[in-house]
Amino acid sequence: MTSKNHTISRIIAKTLIRLLVIILAFSIYLYFAKGDQLASTLHFENIWSLAFPIALFLIVFILMFISLKHKFIHSDINWLFSLSCIFFIVYLILLYSRIYPLI
């Protein structure tokens, strides 16, 4: 019998995976629909401003693969993935809100 915490962590992790896929699909759409405009208008002044988002991206996908490999059995991994995924989704939404008006 599973505990209530394990069931909640499993539901939240599965929901966040679906939400992350939808948000990443939107970024792929932007790249293919308006990629030439993105290349001309989007630039980062400091290359180090990309270091932490890339690190967060790697952490999210490593935790996602671990969660999927173990089929959401470990509730602590599910909660770590959920927390990092929420931060990553908020970052992507803020990034898209800055990029989308430019194109």
Q: Please give, one letter per residue, the 3-state secondary structure of 2-43.
A: CCHHHHHHHHHHHHHHHHHHHHHHHHHHHHHHHHHHHHHHCC
pLDDT band at residue 20 using 50, 70 and 90 as cut-offs: very high
What's this model's pTM, rounded to 2 decimal places? 0.86
The tens digit of pLDDT for each residue in 31-73 reads 888 777 777 777 778 888 889 999 999 999 999 999 999 999 9
- Give how many domains the chain has, as a whole number: 1
Domain coverage including residue 48: 4-102
What is the total residue count of the chain? Answer: 103
Q: For the segment 1-18, what is each residue's pLDDT rounded down to a tens digit?
A: 468 888 999 999 999 999
pLDDT at 30: 81
Neighbours of 81 (CB within 10 A): 28
What is the DSSP-derived secondary structure letter of residue 1?
A: -
**Predicted confidence band at 23 (pLDDT cuts at 50, 70, 90)?**
very high
